[in-house]
Amino acid sequence: MAEERGISANSVLIELLSAAISEDALPKAQELLAQALKGAEEDANQVYGNVPYELENLSESIEKINTQLEKLDEEISKLSTEGNFKALRLRIAEKEELRGRLALLQGKRRTLQGRLEEREKYETQCYRAHILRAIEELEPLLRQRLAALAGI
């Protein structure tokens, strides 16, 4: 039906439920979808943690290190032209340490991006499961409502 009309399956679901549901008897279709989405997100957070938040924090840390590296490069260049080799060695060592931390964080980011993809797939499956559960719970009420509408 959705393909015939060129609209999403969620839109068809909302239309069908809205047509069959009286406002007093059952929750609105949009509320059911919102509850399903919220439940799916909570399920995914329980299984995978809050990966988007972790990824955002990690990206911020990587950006800070990149900024520190840029500043160190400028300072190293300045110290090199001044001939201050003792301070230069310290800044180079600091730069190498930051590069190591950066490589570690970038590896963690790649791992988190993989987990995020898995989490999104799992969340989609949970969303479908929540919708199906809601429909199963509503089915007897929908049948009664449709029968009442058909009898009119």
Q: What is the per-residue pLDDT for 132?
A: 86
Structure tokens that stand for 139 in this block: 């089915």
CA distances from 132 to 2, 18, 87 (A): 17, 17, 66
CA–CA distance, 29 with 133 (Å, rounded to integer): 13
107-139 pLDDT per residue, tens: 999 999 999 999 999 999 999 999 888 878 777
Give the domains, in start order, of the chain with CATH numbers: 2-151 (1.10.287)
Amino acid identity of 13? L
The structure tokens 């299984």 sit at: 47
56-81 pLDDT per residue, tens: 999 999 999 999 999 999 999 999 99
75-95 b/e with 16+ CB inside 10 Å = b?
ebeebeeeeeeeebeebeeeb
Angle, helices 85-151 vs 29-48, to 10°: value is 140
pTM for the complete prediction? 0.65
Give me the sign of the Cα torsion angle 105, 111, 117, 123. negative
Structure tokens that stand for 126 in this block: 């949970």
CA–CA distance, 150 with 130 (Å, rounded to integer): 28
pLDDT (mean) for 77-95 = 92
Angle, alpha carbons 142-145-150 (nearest 5°) = 120
